[in-house]
Amino acid sequence: MVVGDFPIETDTIVIGAGPGGYVAAIRAAQLGQKVTIVEKENVGGVCLNVGCIPSKALISAAHKYETAKHSDDIGITAENVKVDFSKVQEWKASVVNKLTSGVDGLLKGNKVNIVKGEAYFVDANTLRVMDDKSAQTYTFKNAIIATGSRPIELPTFKYTKRVINSTGALALEEIPEKLVVIGGGYIGVELGTAYANFGTQVTILEGGKEILGTAYEKQMTSLVSRNLKKKGVDIVTNALAKGVEESDNGVVVKYEVKGEEKTVEADYVLVTVGRRPNTDELGLEQAGVELTERGLVKIDKQCRTNVSSIFAIGDIVEGPALAHKASYEGKIAAEAISGHPSEIDYLGIPAVVFSEPELASVGYTEAQAKEEGIEVVTAKFPFGANGRALALNSTDGFLKLVTRKEDGLVIGGQIAGANASDMIAELGLAVEAGMTAEDIAMTIHAHPTLGEITMEAAEVALGSPIHILK
């Protein structure tokens, strides 16, 4: 490969090797395109390196520790249960390394050219890639922008050693005695739960009326709130975080509730108030790509921008910042470039919170359906009436099925309970495939499993429940 002033030609260039970019690159290569992928940091992006994967590893380790300490009610008592946090971090890093190495191998196996550096558009068909030592120009037929997002930094909470974002929270060298979390969204709740399980005294300051906002029904989020309070987590809602004083040993966070100013001391303050799209240093104006007021890239149903040769996916376009949404859009973009009639349809995209209990949702909620004038039938089945949930000692929660009244079509579902993150896949399939409640009820589910809860809820929707009274 010639490096220097001579442009390198490629069919498709992908900017960003996260779960959107690397999937787009692989799919494009499978469809016969000559593909180059540009990544300025690590293959796998935020998700694999400092987001989804390491956070779930930490959550898993913390849950195992908490379970080991508190299983007296099922006859198991463990003494002197200890955490070697450095070893936890080593194990977490090994999980990340296995996945990122795997992605690197998949890209190379699909003959995708991997380039390290920062990308900057020169025009609608030219890109300049720079690293510390050199720069190289690439010309392309099509480009897919998949640069993701970064944590929002509050002016009054500039990131330091003691004021941290989610990346910092995942890299702590010790378990803090006290932790303040600003923002009660899914990131704050997940990491707050993990450290609470490790024994940290956690305070969550949420600006809204309740944690997890309005994305999930109150009956679901109240289960999470109740469990957090059982762990000793102090949840302060309608709280305005005002500032922080930092010392060598910790922080003092100032906040306001109902006009009264208060303070709380901690070892660290974790700021989780949302994420900002990485669209500001790409030279998009040079290529003529249009952005929204929020800095998001405008796209059509095929992820194509207003510039026909440039596509955009993931956190930099409208919609929830979800890794699986980015991957889905990556496939759509790669297929559109290859001439396929693929288009995005977000109805079947699930959302999950790895809280306790887990929360998951797909398709319409009851409220959303009613807002659109759809007459629905809703059906609930409790985890407490399921044999597997009882055997797991995890009876908190329920599954709610949302079906269209006229024909029983499954248009949505919400789950609060153990393994909701896995169970939501069946409801996602039902929504995507246009299945009815009867289709689910007639599907034989293995016994005893949590999956039976889905079947039982479908039977409730049909008016013929077996394991709860009608």
DSSP states of 328-342: HHHHHHHHHHTT---
In a domain, 402, yes or no: yes
Q: Look at residue 1 in the predicted model and tell me its pLDDT.
A: 40
Same-domain check for residues 311 and 228: no
CA distance 236 to 239: 6
Low-confidence stretches of the chain (pLDDT < 50) are 1-3
The Cβ of residue 214 has, within 10 Å, a number of other Cβ atoms equal to 12
**Interatomic CA distance for residues 43 and 17, integer angstroms:** 5
Report the CATH number that the domain containing residue 88 is assigned in CATH.
3.50.50.60
CATH code at position 373: 3.30.390.30
Domain residues for 319? 8-151+276-346
94 and 22 co-located in one domain: yes
Last residue in a domain, options 346, 372, 390: 346
Handedness of CA 209, 352, 155, 241 (dihedral sign): positive
The reply to whether 51 and 86 lie within a common domain is: yes
Residues 228 and 180 in one domain: yes
Catalytic residue among 63, 324, 445, 447: 447
pLDDT score of 5: 63
**Catalytic residue check, 447:** yes
Residue 254 shares a structural domain with residue 317: no
Q: What average pLDDT is seen over the chain?
A: 96
* Same-domain pairing of 25 and 146: yes
Q: Rounded to 5 degrees, what are φ and ψ at 230?
A: -60, -30
Does residue 469 form part of some domain? no
Q: Residue 93 is encoded by which pair of tokens?
A: 């890093």
Residue after which a domain boundary falls, among 245, 273, 301: 273
Domain co-membership, 12 together with 146: yes
Domain-embedded: residue 74: yes
Asked which of 221, 247, 273 is the last residue of a domain, the reply is 273
Torsional sign, CA 15, 18, 24, 30 = positive
Is residue 351 a part of any domain in this protein? Answer: no
For residue 4, what pLDDT is reported? 52
Asked if residue 2 is part of any domain, the answer here is no
Burial 407-446 (b: 16+ CB within 10 A, else e): ebbbbbbbbbbbbbbebbebbbebbeeebbbbebbeeebe
Distance from C-alpha of 100 to C-alpha of 39, rounded to nearest angstrom: 13
Q: Are 56 and 96 in contact (CB under 8 A)?
A: no
Looking at the structure, do residues 184 and 263 belong to the same domain, yes or no? yes
442 and 429 co-located in one domain: yes
Residue 266 corresponds to which amino acid?
A: A
What is residue 53's three-state secondary structure? helix
Q: What is the pLDDT of residue 259?
A: 94
For the entire predicted model, the pTM comes to 0.95
Is residue 467 in some structural domain? no
| One domain for residues 256 and 280 | no
The Cα-based distances of 406 to 101, 215, 369, 403, 411 in angstroms read: 50, 26, 13, 9, 12
**Domain tally for the chain?**
3
**Which contiguous run of DSSP H or E holds residue 186?**
helix 186-197
404: in domain: yes
Answer whether residue 173 is part of any domain.
yes
Q: Are residue 27 and residue 131 in the same domain, yes or no?
A: yes
Q: Give yes or no: residues 262 and 402 share one domain.
A: no
